[in-house]
Amino acid sequence: MERACGVLLPVFSLPGNYGIGSFSKEAYAFIDFLKEAGQTYWQILPLGPTSYGDSPYQAFSTFAGNPYFIDLDDLVNRGWLAKKDITKFNWGDKAPGNPSYVDYEKIYNSRFKVLKKAYENSNIAKDPDFIKYVAKNKRWLVNYATYMAIKDANGSVSYLEWDEDIRLRKKDALLKWTQKCAKEIEFYEFQQYLFYTQWKKLKKYANSKGIKIIGDIPIYVALDSADTWADPKLFKLDSKGYPTSVAGCPPDYFSEDGQLWGNPLYDWEYHKKTGYEWWIRRFKQCFDLYDIVRIDHFRGFEDYYSIPYGDKNARRGKWIKGPGWDLFRVVKEKFKDKEIIAEDLGFITPPVRRLIKKCGYPGMKIMLYGFETDAISEHAPFTYEKNSVVYTGTHDNDTITDWFKYELGPKDREYIRKYMNFKGNKDIAWNYIRTGMSTVSDTAIFPIQDYLGLGNEAKINSPSTLGNNWKWRLTEGMLSKELAEKMFDMAYTFHRIPTQKSKGKSKF
């Protein structure tokens, strides 16, 4: 990756109407802001349709897109909706004192009604572009749309609670439900068509402005997903379709019970026999959506933690060898010129480091972890190598301002002040950003919250918690011209604008 910089911002965190960020005019304005600010990358979180808990890492499909992100004003422009069809709903973004948080309950209870009306007004079944899209994506789209339609008909419960004949996809049951839910199935195909066409248009605009999209590929799929229901042979399931083991992390200093994620584990022997065909399709889909792919939890491909299904915590889990180089050899053969980032955070063993080095993927450096007065961390800025991506923090971390103020001890804070040459608590985040920009890492990505100097009211996710995550949004006026100019000057100073041809002068 070239020496450049970018911003981490989930799509749902964009400003705009109707309660959640989307592929609306505000998304295009954000791309313009990135261009003005001298940025090259926009890093986002997974775009899949989220389930209970609203985590983008627990989606109903690894191939589908989130209908929450569909720009509703575009449907008005197409003549499929009237403005009043949208504005009559409470989207949760007009609550006093709470304009910057997503109210998922209100969106869930409103958006599908609006999309359904647009579908009924669209006559989409006769649209040649829609017909072409469905035919091109039939392999995953039919399974996803059928799964969602049946799920709706069963009160939205997990497919594991469906009647056994349809849970196990018996031929007669599948035919019966497909006929019964034909219109609902087409409705879900309609949603995906809108998602895909709007996103591709937005991505094309970003690329035309010199902005590249970095997107995630989560290592696991959700247990309650179209992927697990439609392709059980890909996973470690018993004859009744239930998992034999699930994913998580072992107990550690932070959690005596470990982390029980609950995702089904892969049957890697089966994947190997197919030449990793499903994984190749999955990567292909990602590279169709993004310019660069960040592989989540890369460590799990070398060895993964397996927990018996039904356990209440992760204590009884064990480490099992993953596919390792055998998988990535195929990935590199199929996607020779594509750029990939390896999320190599957490406890990384020597075999994992060897695998990353063999793949040649840049790893991640998190400045929030990088300053210890009595030890040298691998995240300390003076230890970085060129082939790496530096962050102040990720979507799972505190904002750098509140981390510095409330999580560090006096000794560590004083050390950081000396290292970065500043006093007090003024411009904490900008001192971190300046230090990160100055490193040898080819790529520097910083959350927009840190550029804005915000506290943990703007935190995206607190791992292992439910209820208050994936909600924060930008509000109107935050992305000012003054901020863009300051970001541009910082990027220019440290030669992170690929088009700059001379040293020039800087305020810094």
Q: How far is CA 408 from CA 365, 413, 415, in A?
A: 19, 6, 11
Encoded tokens for 327: 């998988």
Task: Report helix, strand and coil shares of the chain as percent, to nearest 5.
Answer: 45, 15, 45
What is the rounded CA–CA span in Å between residue 475 and residue 458?
11
User: Quick check: 296 and 219 in contact, CB under 8 A?
Assistant: yes
Helices 138-153 and 171-180: angle between axes, nearest 10 degrees: 80
Which residue is catalytic, options 238, 277, 385, 396?
396
Residue 24: what residue type?
A: S
| Residue 378 identity (one-letter amino acid) | E
Please provide residue 294's backbone torsions phi and psi, each rounded to the nearest 5 degrees.
Answer: -100, 120
Phi (first) and psi of residue 296, to 5 degrees: -70, 140
- Cα 91 to chain centroid distance, Å, stands at 23
**Cα 315 from Cα 256, distance rounded (Å):** 8
Write down the catalytic residue from 74, 343, 398, 402: 343
Q: Is 296 a catalytic residue?
A: yes
Which residue carries 């007090």 as its tokens? Answer: 424
Does residue 402 contact residue 430 with C-beta atoms inside 8 Å? no
Could you say which of 224, 296, 339, 398 is catalytic? 296
Give catalytic status of residue 227 as yes or no: no
* Residue 396 annotated to the active site: yes
Helix spans in 3-91 (H): 25-36, 72-77, 83-87
Catalytic positions are 296, 343, 396
